[in-house]
Chain A
Protein backbone atom coordinates (compact mmCIF):
# COMPACT_ATOMS: atom_id res chain seq x y z
CA UNK A 1 0.00 0.00 0.00
CA UNK A 2 1.41 3.37 -0.96
CA UNK A 3 -1.18 5.29 1.07
CA UNK A 4 -3.25 4.27 4.06
CA UNK A 5 -5.69 6.45 6.00
CA UNK A 6 -7.07 5.12 9.27
CA UNK A 7 -10.00 6.74 11.11
CA UNK A 8 -9.02 10.22 9.90
CA UNK A 9 -11.28 13.05 11.10
CA UNK A 10 -11.19 16.82 10.71
CA UNK A 11 -13.60 19.48 12.00
CA UNK A 12 -13.83 23.20 11.49
CA UNK A 13 -15.59 24.33 14.66
CA UNK A 14 -18.83 22.35 14.91
CA UNK A 15 -18.69 21.24 11.29
CA UNK A 16 -17.18 17.80 10.73
CA UNK A 17 -15.68 17.90 7.24
CA UNK A 18 -13.87 14.58 7.33
CA UNK A 19 -15.61 11.95 9.42
CA UNK A 20 -13.74 8.79 10.38
CA UNK A 21 -12.32 8.08 6.93
CA UNK A 22 -10.43 4.81 6.40
CA UNK A 23 -9.11 3.58 3.05
CA UNK A 24 -5.99 2.30 1.35
CA UNK A 25 -4.52 2.85 -2.09
CA UNK A 26 -2.27 0.15 -3.57
CA UNK A 27 0.92 1.12 -5.38
CA UNK A 28 0.28 2.14 -9.00
CA UNK A 29 -3.51 2.43 -8.75
CA UNK A 30 -5.62 5.30 -10.09
CA UNK A 31 -8.39 6.12 -7.63
CA UNK A 32 -11.21 8.54 -8.41
CA UNK A 33 -13.03 10.52 -5.71
CA UNK A 34 -16.53 11.84 -6.32
CA UNK A 35 -19.15 13.44 -4.16
CA UNK A 36 -21.45 16.47 -4.06
CA UNK A 37 -20.10 19.97 -3.43
CA UNK A 38 -19.08 20.40 0.18
CA UNK A 39 -18.65 16.66 0.72
CA UNK A 40 -15.11 17.26 2.00
CA UNK A 41 -13.12 16.10 -1.03
CA UNK A 42 -10.62 18.95 -1.11
CA UNK A 43 -10.25 18.83 2.67
CA UNK A 44 -9.37 15.16 2.35
CA UNK A 45 -6.65 16.14 -0.13
CA UNK A 46 -5.32 18.84 2.17
CA UNK A 47 -5.09 16.25 4.96
CA UNK A 48 -3.16 13.84 2.71
CA UNK A 49 -0.75 16.57 1.51
CA UNK A 50 -0.27 18.11 4.95
CA UNK A 51 -1.70 21.53 4.08
CA UNK A 52 -4.15 20.72 6.90
CA UNK A 53 -3.52 18.64 10.04
CA UNK A 54 -6.03 15.95 10.96
CA UNK A 55 -7.73 16.06 14.37
CA UNK A 56 -7.75 12.28 14.70
CA UNK A 57 -6.53 9.16 12.99
CA UNK A 58 -3.33 8.35 11.13
CA UNK A 59 -1.97 8.69 7.61
CA UNK A 60 0.75 6.36 6.34
CA UNK A 61 2.70 6.95 3.12
CA UNK A 62 4.83 4.05 1.91
CA UNK A 63 4.53 2.49 5.35
CA UNK A 64 5.78 5.59 7.15
CA UNK A 65 3.54 7.52 9.55
CA UNK A 66 3.27 11.03 8.07
CA UNK A 67 0.32 12.24 10.17
CA UNK A 68 2.40 14.97 11.85
CA UNK A 69 4.76 15.63 8.94
CA UNK A 70 4.69 19.07 7.24
CA UNK A 71 3.44 19.69 3.69
CA UNK A 72 6.96 20.56 2.59
CA UNK A 73 8.38 17.25 3.82
CA UNK A 74 5.50 15.22 2.40
CA UNK A 75 6.31 16.71 -0.99
CA UNK A 76 9.93 15.62 -0.57
CA UNK A 77 8.84 12.06 0.28
CA UNK A 78 6.85 11.89 -2.96
CA UNK A 79 3.35 13.35 -2.57
CA UNK A 80 2.57 15.85 -5.35
CA UNK A 81 -0.64 17.80 -5.86
CA UNK A 82 -2.60 20.22 -7.99
CA UNK A 83 -4.96 22.75 -6.44
CA UNK A 84 -8.68 22.97 -7.32
CA UNK A 85 -8.35 26.71 -7.82
CA UNK A 86 -5.00 27.05 -9.62
CA UNK A 87 -2.37 28.55 -7.33
CA UNK A 88 0.48 29.56 -9.65
CA UNK A 89 3.41 31.69 -8.51
CA UNK A 90 2.02 34.60 -10.50
CA UNK A 91 5.08 36.80 -10.79
CA UNK A 92 7.32 33.93 -11.83
CA UNK A 93 7.27 32.65 -15.40
CA UNK A 94 5.77 29.28 -16.28
CA UNK A 95 9.27 27.84 -16.59
CA UNK A 96 10.34 29.30 -13.24
CA UNK A 97 7.22 27.82 -11.60
CA UNK A 98 8.47 24.40 -12.67
CA UNK A 99 12.07 25.11 -11.65
CA UNK A 100 10.97 26.00 -8.09
CA UNK A 101 9.06 22.72 -7.85
CA UNK A 102 11.79 20.58 -9.41
CA UNK A 103 14.71 22.05 -7.45
CA UNK A 104 13.02 22.27 -4.05
CA UNK A 105 10.73 19.26 -4.37
CA UNK A 106 13.68 16.99 -5.08
CA UNK A 107 16.59 18.98 -3.69
CA UNK A 108 18.44 19.33 -7.01
CA UNK A 109 20.37 22.15 -8.67
CA UNK A 110 18.81 24.30 -11.39
CA UNK A 111 21.14 22.89 -14.04
CA UNK A 112 20.10 19.34 -13.17
CA UNK A 113 16.39 19.96 -13.78
CA UNK A 114 16.53 22.18 -16.87
CA UNK A 115 15.99 19.50 -19.52
CA UNK A 116 13.33 17.78 -17.54
CA UNK A 117 11.34 20.97 -16.96
CA UNK A 118 11.51 21.75 -20.68
CA UNK A 119 10.36 18.19 -21.39
CA UNK A 120 7.35 18.50 -19.06
CA UNK A 121 6.38 21.77 -20.75
CA UNK A 122 6.55 20.04 -24.14
CA UNK A 123 4.30 17.24 -22.90
CA UNK A 124 1.73 19.60 -21.39
CA UNK A 125 1.87 21.92 -24.41
CA UNK A 126 2.98 24.92 -22.36
CA UNK A 127 6.38 25.25 -23.99
CA UNK A 128 5.26 28.25 -26.05
CA UNK A 129 4.34 30.06 -22.84
CA UNK A 130 7.51 29.11 -20.94
CA UNK A 131 8.69 32.69 -20.47
CA UNK A 132 5.27 34.21 -19.73
CA UNK A 133 4.54 35.28 -16.14
CA UNK A 134 2.06 32.75 -14.75
CA UNK A 135 -0.32 35.54 -13.74
CA UNK A 136 -1.07 36.17 -17.42
CA UNK A 137 -2.22 32.63 -18.25
CA UNK A 138 -5.73 31.59 -19.31
CA UNK A 139 -7.74 29.11 -17.21
CA UNK A 140 -6.74 26.12 -19.35
CA UNK A 141 -3.10 27.12 -19.20
CA UNK A 142 -3.30 27.58 -15.43
CA UNK A 143 -4.73 24.07 -15.07
CA UNK A 144 -1.95 22.71 -17.24
CA UNK A 145 0.57 24.59 -15.13
CA UNK A 146 -0.89 23.02 -11.97
CA UNK A 147 -0.35 19.59 -13.50
CA UNK A 148 3.10 20.45 -14.89
CA UNK A 149 4.30 21.86 -11.58
CA UNK A 150 3.10 18.78 -9.71
CA UNK A 151 4.90 16.57 -12.28
CA UNK A 152 8.11 18.57 -11.78
CA UNK A 153 8.33 17.32 -8.18
CA UNK A 154 8.33 13.76 -9.61
CA UNK A 155 5.71 12.43 -7.20
CA UNK A 156 5.12 8.76 -6.48
CA UNK A 157 1.57 9.73 -5.51
CA UNK A 158 -0.12 12.47 -7.53
CA UNK A 159 -3.27 14.17 -6.22
CA UNK A 160 -5.34 15.97 -8.85
CA UNK A 161 -8.14 18.27 -7.69
CA UNK A 162 -10.81 18.96 -10.36
CA UNK A 163 -8.29 19.48 -13.07
CA UNK A 164 -10.77 18.89 -15.93
CA UNK A 165 -13.48 21.27 -14.70
CA UNK A 166 -14.36 24.12 -17.08
CA UNK A 167 -12.46 22.72 -20.06
CA UNK A 168 -13.87 22.05 -23.53
CA UNK A 169 -14.18 18.47 -24.78
CA UNK A 170 -11.03 18.71 -26.90
CA UNK A 171 -9.00 20.25 -24.08
CA UNK A 172 -10.33 17.58 -21.75
CA UNK A 173 -9.22 14.75 -24.07
CA UNK A 174 -5.70 16.19 -24.28
CA UNK A 175 -5.57 16.36 -20.49
CA UNK A 176 -6.79 12.77 -20.11
CA UNK A 177 -4.06 11.61 -22.50
CA UNK A 178 -1.40 13.35 -20.38
CA UNK A 179 -2.77 11.87 -17.15
CA UNK A 180 -2.93 8.37 -18.66
CA UNK A 181 0.66 8.84 -19.75
CA UNK A 182 1.75 9.73 -16.19
CA UNK A 183 -0.22 6.80 -14.81
CA UNK A 184 1.40 4.43 -17.32
CA UNK A 185 4.78 5.36 -15.88
CA UNK A 186 3.72 3.81 -12.58
CA UNK A 187 2.64 6.95 -10.68
CA UNK A 188 -0.19 6.33 -8.24
CA UNK A 189 -3.01 8.81 -8.85
CA UNK A 190 -5.90 10.06 -6.73
CA UNK A 191 -8.21 12.27 -8.75
CA UNK A 192 -11.17 14.36 -7.55
CA UNK A 193 -13.41 15.15 -10.50
CA UNK A 194 -16.96 16.13 -11.40
CA UNK A 195 -16.42 15.39 -15.10
CA UNK A 196 -17.32 11.73 -14.71
CA UNK A 197 -16.50 10.43 -18.18
CA UNK A 198 -12.99 11.90 -17.88
CA UNK A 199 -12.56 10.28 -14.51
CA UNK A 200 -13.87 6.83 -15.44
CA UNK A 201 -11.69 6.70 -18.55
CA UNK A 202 -8.62 6.71 -16.31
CA UNK A 203 -9.38 5.35 -12.83
CA UNK A 204 -9.64 1.72 -11.77
CA UNK A 205 -11.47 2.37 -8.54
CA UNK A 206 -13.96 4.96 -7.27
CA UNK A 207 -14.52 6.40 -3.81
CA UNK A 208 -17.73 8.29 -3.00
CA UNK A 209 -17.74 10.90 -0.26
CA UNK A 210 -20.78 12.58 1.30
CA UNK A 211 -20.85 14.76 4.43
CA UNK A 212 -17.25 13.75 5.07
CA UNK A 213 -18.04 10.03 5.15
CA UNK A 214 -17.13 7.31 2.67
CA UNK A 215 -20.39 5.91 1.35
CA UNK A 216 -18.92 3.61 -1.26
CA UNK A 217 -15.61 2.40 -2.64
CA UNK A 218 -14.98 -0.13 -5.42
CA UNK A 219 -15.15 -0.78 -9.17
CA UNK A 220 -16.42 2.29 -11.04
CA UNK A 221 -19.27 0.38 -12.71
CA UNK A 222 -20.46 -1.17 -9.48
CA UNK A 223 -20.26 2.17 -7.67
CA UNK A 224 -22.10 4.12 -10.33
CA UNK A 225 -24.73 1.39 -10.48
CA UNK A 226 -25.40 1.34 -6.75
CA UNK A 227 -28.72 2.74 -5.61
CA UNK A 228 -27.29 4.72 -2.69
CA UNK A 229 -24.74 6.54 -4.84
CA UNK A 230 -27.29 7.43 -7.49
CA UNK A 231 -29.62 8.84 -4.87
CA UNK A 232 -27.05 10.87 -3.00
CA UNK A 233 -24.65 11.86 -5.70
CA UNK A 234 -26.80 12.17 -8.79
CA UNK A 235 -29.90 13.27 -6.92
CA UNK A 236 -32.07 10.66 -8.67
CA UNK A 237 -34.93 8.98 -6.85
CA UNK A 238 -34.52 5.31 -7.61
Chain B
Protein backbone atom coordinates (compact mmCIF):
# COMPACT_ATOMS: atom_id res chain seq x y z
CA UNK B 1 0.00 0.00 0.00
CA UNK B 2 1.50 3.27 -1.06
CA UNK B 3 -1.11 5.99 -1.24
CA UNK B 4 0.20 9.41 -2.10
CA UNK B 5 -1.20 12.93 -1.82
CA UNK B 6 -1.23 15.40 -4.65
CA UNK B 7 -2.09 19.07 -4.58
CA UNK B 8 -0.55 20.22 -7.83
CA UNK B 9 -2.69 20.28 -10.98
CA UNK B 10 -1.69 20.83 -14.59
CA UNK B 11 -3.31 24.29 -14.53
CA UNK B 12 -1.36 25.26 -11.42
CA UNK B 13 1.89 24.18 -13.08
CA UNK B 14 1.18 26.38 -16.10
CA UNK B 15 0.03 29.20 -13.81
CA UNK B 16 3.30 28.99 -11.87
CA UNK B 17 5.33 29.39 -15.07
CA UNK B 18 3.20 32.31 -16.30
CA UNK B 19 3.29 33.80 -12.80
CA UNK B 20 7.10 33.68 -12.78
CA UNK B 21 7.14 35.44 -16.16
CA UNK B 22 4.72 38.14 -15.00
CA UNK B 23 6.79 38.62 -11.85
CA UNK B 24 9.98 39.10 -13.90
CA UNK B 25 8.21 41.67 -16.07
CA UNK B 26 6.92 43.51 -12.98
CA UNK B 27 10.40 43.60 -11.45
CA UNK B 28 11.79 45.12 -14.66
CA UNK B 29 8.83 47.49 -15.12
CA UNK B 30 10.65 50.66 -13.93
CA UNK B 31 13.10 50.19 -16.84
CA UNK B 32 10.51 51.16 -19.43
CA UNK B 33 7.36 52.38 -17.64
CA UNK B 34 6.35 55.99 -17.10
CA UNK B 35 6.30 57.45 -13.62
CA UNK B 36 2.49 57.61 -13.55
CA UNK B 37 2.22 53.91 -14.42
CA UNK B 38 4.64 53.11 -11.60
CA UNK B 39 2.44 55.13 -9.22
CA UNK B 40 -0.68 53.32 -10.42
CA UNK B 41 1.01 49.96 -10.02
CA UNK B 42 2.02 50.95 -6.49
CA UNK B 43 -1.63 51.63 -5.64
CA UNK B 44 -2.75 48.38 -7.24
CA UNK B 45 -0.16 46.32 -5.38
CA UNK B 46 -0.82 47.92 -1.99
CA UNK B 47 -4.59 47.51 -2.40
CA UNK B 48 -3.95 43.89 -3.40
CA UNK B 49 -2.01 43.26 -0.20
CA UNK B 50 -4.73 44.86 1.92
CA UNK B 51 -7.32 42.74 0.08
CA UNK B 52 -5.33 39.53 0.61
CA UNK B 53 -5.09 40.19 4.34
CA UNK B 54 -8.79 41.05 4.67
CA UNK B 55 -9.56 37.90 2.70
CA UNK B 56 -7.38 35.85 5.07
CA UNK B 57 -9.31 37.31 7.98
CA UNK B 58 -12.85 37.15 6.61
CA UNK B 59 -12.68 34.58 3.83
CA UNK B 60 -10.54 31.99 5.56
CA UNK B 61 -10.85 32.92 9.23
CA UNK B 62 -14.54 33.88 9.21
CA UNK B 63 -13.65 37.13 11.03
CA UNK B 64 -15.45 39.89 9.13
CA UNK B 65 -13.67 43.03 10.25
CA UNK B 66 -14.60 46.52 9.11
CA UNK B 67 -11.87 48.07 11.20
CA UNK B 68 -8.84 47.41 9.01
CA UNK B 69 -8.26 51.17 8.82
CA UNK B 70 -7.13 50.97 12.45
CA UNK B 71 -4.10 48.91 11.35
CA UNK B 72 -3.41 50.96 8.22
CA UNK B 73 -3.56 54.18 10.22
CA UNK B 74 -1.62 52.84 13.17
CA UNK B 75 1.05 51.42 10.85
CA UNK B 76 1.32 54.75 9.03
CA UNK B 77 1.48 56.82 12.21
CA UNK B 78 4.07 54.47 13.70
CA UNK B 79 6.22 55.07 10.63
CA UNK B 80 5.88 58.85 10.93
CA UNK B 81 6.56 58.60 14.67
CA UNK B 82 9.79 56.63 14.42
CA UNK B 83 11.03 58.69 11.44
CA UNK B 84 10.21 62.13 12.88
CA UNK B 85 10.88 61.49 16.56
CA UNK B 86 13.38 58.61 16.38
CA UNK B 87 15.29 59.59 13.25
CA UNK B 88 14.91 56.07 11.80
CA UNK B 89 15.27 55.62 8.02
CA UNK B 90 11.77 55.45 6.42
CA UNK B 91 12.48 52.10 4.73
CA UNK B 92 13.53 50.51 8.03
CA UNK B 93 10.58 52.20 9.74
CA UNK B 94 8.13 50.10 7.71
CA UNK B 95 8.95 47.15 9.97
CA UNK B 96 7.94 49.26 12.97
CA UNK B 97 4.60 49.87 11.23
CA UNK B 98 3.79 46.17 11.47
CA UNK B 99 4.73 46.16 15.14
CA UNK B 100 2.68 49.30 15.76
CA UNK B 101 -0.36 47.60 14.27
CA UNK B 102 0.26 44.51 16.43
CA UNK B 103 0.34 46.66 19.55
CA UNK B 104 -3.28 47.71 19.02
CA UNK B 105 -4.30 44.35 17.52
CA UNK B 106 -3.69 42.46 20.77
CA UNK B 107 -6.08 44.48 22.99
CA UNK B 108 -8.52 44.72 20.06
CA UNK B 109 -8.60 40.92 19.80
CA UNK B 110 -9.24 40.50 23.54
CA UNK B 111 -12.25 42.78 23.18
CA UNK B 112 -13.53 41.81 19.72
CA UNK B 113 -13.22 38.01 20.12
CA UNK B 114 -15.97 38.23 22.73
CA UNK B 115 -18.25 39.31 19.87
CA UNK B 116 -19.53 37.27 16.95
CA UNK B 117 -20.64 37.97 13.40
CA UNK B 118 -22.13 41.43 12.89
CA UNK B 119 -21.22 42.47 16.44
CA UNK B 120 -17.58 41.61 15.75
CA UNK B 121 -17.69 43.72 12.59
CA UNK B 122 -19.16 46.74 14.40
CA UNK B 123 -16.78 46.24 17.33
CA UNK B 124 -13.73 46.46 15.10
CA UNK B 125 -15.09 49.61 13.46
CA UNK B 126 -15.70 51.26 16.83
CA UNK B 127 -12.15 50.42 17.95
CA UNK B 128 -10.74 51.91 14.74
CA UNK B 129 -12.66 55.15 15.38
CA UNK B 130 -11.36 55.28 18.94
CA UNK B 131 -7.78 54.85 17.72
CA UNK B 132 -8.31 57.62 15.13
CA UNK B 133 -9.59 60.02 17.79
CA UNK B 134 -6.68 59.19 20.09
CA UNK B 135 -4.08 59.70 17.35
CA UNK B 136 -5.67 63.05 16.44
CA UNK B 137 -4.77 64.20 19.97
CA UNK B 138 -1.08 63.56 19.35
CA UNK B 139 0.15 67.13 18.86
CA UNK B 140 3.79 66.22 18.03
CA UNK B 141 2.52 64.41 14.93
CA UNK B 142 0.30 67.28 13.84
CA UNK B 143 -2.85 66.40 15.79
CA UNK B 144 -6.01 66.54 13.71
CA UNK B 145 -4.41 68.28 10.73
CA UNK B 146 -1.56 65.83 10.28
CA UNK B 147 2.04 66.29 9.24
CA UNK B 148 4.64 65.51 6.58
CA UNK B 149 7.82 63.48 6.57
CA UNK B 150 10.85 65.77 6.95
CA UNK B 151 12.56 66.46 3.60
CA UNK B 152 15.98 65.24 4.79
CA UNK B 153 14.49 61.86 5.75
CA UNK B 154 12.85 61.25 2.38
CA UNK B 155 15.80 62.57 0.37
CA UNK B 156 18.37 60.46 2.17
CA UNK B 157 16.23 57.35 2.29
CA UNK B 158 18.02 54.04 1.78
CA UNK B 159 18.42 52.88 -1.84
CA UNK B 160 17.10 56.16 -3.32
CA UNK B 161 20.51 57.42 -4.36
CA UNK B 162 21.35 54.10 -5.98
CA UNK B 163 18.11 54.13 -7.99
CA UNK B 164 18.77 57.76 -9.05
CA UNK B 165 22.10 56.85 -10.59
CA UNK B 166 20.88 53.51 -11.94
CA UNK B 167 17.92 54.97 -13.85
CA UNK B 168 19.18 58.53 -14.22
CA UNK B 169 16.02 59.96 -12.64
CA UNK B 170 15.37 62.65 -10.05
CA UNK B 171 14.91 61.92 -6.36
CA UNK B 172 11.07 62.00 -6.39
CA UNK B 173 10.85 59.50 -9.25
CA UNK B 174 13.45 57.28 -7.58
CA UNK B 175 11.35 57.23 -4.43
CA UNK B 176 8.34 56.06 -6.45
CA UNK B 177 10.38 53.25 -7.98
CA UNK B 178 11.62 52.21 -4.54
CA UNK B 179 8.08 52.25 -3.13
CA UNK B 180 6.88 50.21 -6.11
CA UNK B 181 9.54 47.55 -5.61
CA UNK B 182 8.78 47.36 -1.89
CA UNK B 183 5.07 46.97 -2.68
CA UNK B 184 5.85 44.25 -5.21
CA UNK B 185 8.00 42.39 -2.67
CA UNK B 186 5.26 42.73 -0.05
CA UNK B 187 2.61 41.45 -2.46
CA UNK B 188 4.69 38.43 -3.47
CA UNK B 189 5.54 37.65 0.16
CA UNK B 190 1.88 38.02 1.18
CA UNK B 191 0.48 35.78 -1.54
CA UNK B 192 3.28 33.25 -1.06
CA UNK B 193 2.85 33.29 2.73
CA UNK B 194 -0.93 32.87 2.63
CA UNK B 195 -0.65 30.08 0.08
CA UNK B 196 1.94 28.35 2.26
CA UNK B 197 -0.32 28.70 5.33
CA UNK B 198 -3.29 27.19 3.49
CA UNK B 199 -1.22 24.20 2.43
CA UNK B 200 -0.12 23.36 5.98
CA UNK B 201 -2.30 21.51 8.46
CA UNK B 202 -3.23 24.90 9.92
CA UNK B 203 -4.85 25.74 6.60
CA UNK B 204 -6.99 22.62 6.89
CA UNK B 205 -7.86 23.59 10.44
CA UNK B 206 -9.00 27.04 9.26
CA UNK B 207 -11.32 25.42 6.72
CA UNK B 208 -12.61 23.02 9.38
CA UNK B 209 -13.34 25.82 11.85
CA UNK B 210 -15.15 27.79 9.14
CA UNK B 211 -17.29 24.77 8.20
CA UNK B 212 -18.16 23.57 11.70
CA UNK B 213 -16.52 24.95 14.81
CA UNK B 214 -17.95 22.41 17.31
CA UNK B 215 -16.84 19.45 15.20
CA UNK B 216 -13.44 21.08 14.69
CA UNK B 217 -12.93 21.37 18.47
CA UNK B 218 -13.98 17.74 18.87
CA UNK B 219 -11.19 16.54 16.59
CA UNK B 220 -8.57 18.55 18.46
CA UNK B 221 -8.45 21.78 16.45
CA UNK B 222 -7.50 24.76 18.60
CA UNK B 223 -10.11 27.14 17.17
CA UNK B 224 -9.21 30.01 19.48
CA UNK B 225 -5.54 29.87 18.56
CA UNK B 226 -6.43 29.81 14.85
CA UNK B 227 -8.42 33.05 15.33
CA UNK B 228 -5.46 34.69 17.04
CA UNK B 229 -2.98 33.58 14.40
CA UNK B 230 -5.16 34.90 11.57
CA UNK B 231 -6.07 38.16 13.30
CA UNK B 232 -2.51 39.05 14.33
CA UNK B 233 -1.00 38.04 10.97
CA UNK B 234 -3.58 40.14 9.18
CA UNK B 235 -3.01 43.12 11.49
CA UNK B 236 0.77 42.92 11.06
CA UNK B 237 0.55 42.76 7.26
CA UNK B 238 -2.05 45.52 7.09
CA UNK B 239 0.16 47.68 9.33
CA UNK B 240 3.19 47.12 7.08
CA UNK B 241 1.13 48.11 4.06
CA UNK B 242 -0.16 51.22 5.84
CA UNK B 243 3.41 52.22 6.63
CA UNK B 244 4.48 51.68 3.03
CA UNK B 245 1.52 53.62 1.57
CA UNK B 246 2.24 56.65 3.74
CA UNK B 247 5.98 56.43 3.22
CA UNK B 248 5.19 56.96 -0.47
CA UNK B 249 2.65 59.72 0.21
CA UNK B 250 5.05 61.39 2.70
CA UNK B 251 2.07 63.27 4.17
CA UNK B 252 -0.44 62.04 6.73
CA UNK B 253 -3.61 63.09 8.52
CA UNK B 254 -5.82 61.07 10.88
CA UNK B 255 -8.89 61.32 8.63
CA UNK B 256 -7.02 59.95 5.61
CA UNK B 257 -5.00 57.29 7.42
CA UNK B 258 -8.01 55.96 9.34
CA UNK B 259 -10.46 56.23 6.44
CA UNK B 260 -13.04 53.45 6.55
CA UNK B 261 -13.86 54.01 2.85
CA UNK B 262 -10.32 53.81 1.52
CA UNK B 263 -8.92 51.02 3.67
CA UNK B 264 -11.91 48.82 4.40
CA UNK B 265 -14.88 49.51 2.09
CA UNK B 266 -12.81 49.43 -1.12
CA UNK B 267 -10.92 46.42 0.17
CA UNK B 268 -14.15 44.53 0.88
CA UNK B 269 -15.41 45.49 -2.59
CA UNK B 270 -12.25 44.08 -4.18
CA UNK B 271 -12.50 40.78 -2.30
CA UNK B 272 -16.25 40.35 -2.76
CA UNK B 273 -16.37 40.98 -6.51
CA UNK B 274 -13.19 38.97 -7.11
CA UNK B 275 -14.16 36.00 -4.98
CA UNK B 276 -13.96 35.66 -1.21
CA UNK B 277 -12.04 32.70 0.24
CA UNK B 278 -9.70 32.36 -2.75
CA UNK B 279 -6.24 33.79 -3.43
CA UNK B 280 -7.15 34.44 -7.09
CA UNK B 281 -10.24 36.50 -6.15
CA UNK B 282 -8.50 39.60 -4.74
CA UNK B 283 -6.12 39.65 -7.75
CA UNK B 284 -9.04 39.82 -10.18
CA UNK B 285 -10.95 42.15 -7.86
CA UNK B 286 -8.16 44.72 -7.62
CA UNK B 287 -7.81 44.86 -11.42
CA UNK B 288 -11.55 45.44 -11.88
CA UNK B 289 -11.51 48.03 -9.10
CA UNK B 290 -8.77 50.06 -10.79
CA UNK B 291 -10.35 49.71 -14.19
CA UNK B 292 -13.61 51.12 -12.81
CA UNK B 293 -11.78 53.84 -10.94
CA UNK B 294 -10.01 55.09 -14.05
CA UNK B 295 -13.18 54.82 -16.19
CA UNK B 296 -15.42 56.58 -13.69
CA UNK B 297 -12.89 59.00 -12.19
CA UNK B 298 -14.70 62.05 -13.62
CA UNK B 299 -18.17 61.13 -12.40
CA UNK B 300 -17.80 62.03 -8.73
CA UNK B 301 -20.32 60.32 -6.49
CA UNK B 302 -21.72 58.29 -9.41
CA UNK B 303 -18.49 56.34 -9.13
CA UNK B 304 -19.26 55.17 -5.58
CA UNK B 305 -22.87 54.39 -6.48
CA UNK B 306 -21.72 52.27 -9.42
CA UNK B 307 -19.33 50.38 -7.14
CA UNK B 308 -22.16 49.76 -4.68
CA UNK B 309 -24.62 48.54 -7.31
CA UNK B 310 -21.98 46.30 -8.86
CA UNK B 311 -21.05 44.79 -5.50
CA UNK B 312 -24.70 44.07 -4.66
CA UNK B 313 -25.35 42.55 -8.10
CA UNK B 314 -22.35 40.26 -7.85
CA UNK B 315 -23.28 39.20 -4.31
CA UNK B 316 -26.74 38.21 -5.57
CA UNK B 317 -25.76 36.63 -8.88
CA UNK B 318 -22.39 35.13 -7.98
CA UNK B 319 -21.97 35.03 -4.20
CA UNK B 320 -18.52 33.53 -4.57
CA UNK B 321 -17.34 36.35 -6.83
CA UNK B 322 -16.11 36.36 -10.39
CA UNK B 323 -13.29 33.93 -9.71
CA UNK B 324 -15.68 31.65 -7.81
CA UNK B 325 -18.00 31.65 -10.81
CA UNK B 326 -15.16 30.87 -13.20
CA UNK B 327 -13.56 28.13 -11.12
CA UNK B 328 -16.97 26.51 -10.50
CA UNK B 329 -17.58 26.31 -14.27
CA UNK B 330 -14.10 25.21 -15.26
CA UNK B 331 -12.67 23.54 -12.15
CA UNK B 332 -9.67 25.83 -12.53
CA UNK B 333 -7.45 26.58 -9.51
CA UNK B 334 -4.29 28.62 -9.88
CA UNK B 335 -3.41 28.15 -6.19
CA UNK B 336 -4.72 24.65 -5.48
CA UNK B 337 -4.99 23.63 -1.82
CA UNK B 338 -7.10 20.49 -2.21
CA UNK B 339 -5.24 17.38 -1.13
CA UNK B 340 -6.14 14.54 -3.45
CA UNK B 341 -5.53 10.99 -2.30
CA UNK B 342 -4.00 9.05 -5.17
CA UNK B 343 -4.32 5.26 -5.15
CA UNK B 344 -1.25 3.09 -5.74
CA UNK B 345 -0.68 2.51 -9.45
CA UNK B 346 -1.01 -1.29 -9.33
CA UNK B 347 -4.54 -1.41 -7.97
CA UNK B 348 -7.41 -0.87 -10.35
CA UNK B 349 -10.25 1.24 -9.09
Pairing of A with B: yes
Using a CB–CB cutoff of 8 Å, the interface residues on chain A facing chain B are 49-51, 70-72, 75-76, 80-81, 83, 87-93, 95-97, 99-101, 103-107, 109-110, 114-115, 117-119, 121, 127-128, 130-131, 149-150, 152-153
Encode B312-349 as 1/0 by CB contact (under 8 A) with A.
00000000000000000000000000111101000001
Report if B160 contacts A (CB, 8 A). no
**B339 & A104 in contact (Cβ 8 Å cutoff):** no
**A72 & B221 in contact (Cβ 8 Å cutoff):** yes
Which one of A90, A106, A115, A149 contacts B3 once the chains associate, using CB atoms below 8 Å? A115
Q: Give the complex CA separation of A105 and B212 in angstroms.
A: 16
Which residues of chain B are near A150, meaning CB under 8 Å?
219
**B219 & A93 in contact (Cβ 8 Å cutoff):** no
Among residues of B, the one whose C-beta sits closest to the C-beta of A118 is B3
Within 8 A of A (CB), among B272-329: none
Which residues of chain B are near A88, meaning CB under 8 Å?
211-212, 215
Q: State the main secondary structure of chain A at its contact with B.
A: helix
Using a CB–CB cutoff of 8 Å, the interface residues on chain B facing chain A are 1, 3-5, 201, 204-205, 207-208, 210-212, 214-223, 338-341, 343, 349
Which one of A91, A114, A117, A152 contacts B219 once the chains associate, using CB atoms below 8 Å? A152
**B205 & A100 in contact (Cβ 8 Å cutoff):** yes
Q: Give the complex CA separation of A153 and B215 in angstroms.
A: 12
Q: Give the complex CA separation of A121 and B5 in angstroms.
A: 14
Which residues of chain A are near B349, meaning CB under 8 Å?
128
Which residues of chain B are near A99, meaning CB under 8 Å?
201, 204, 339
Excluding A88-B211, A103-B201, 14 further A-B contacts by CB distance (< 8 Å) are: A72-B217, A87-B212, A88-B212, A89-B208, A91-B207, A92-B207, A95-B339, A96-B339, A100-B216, A104-B205, A109-B201, A114-B5, A118-B3, A128-B349
Among residues of A, the one whose C-beta sits closest to the C-beta of B219 is A101
Which residues of chain A are near B219, meaning CB under 8 Å?
75, 80, 100-101, 104-105, 149-150, 152-153
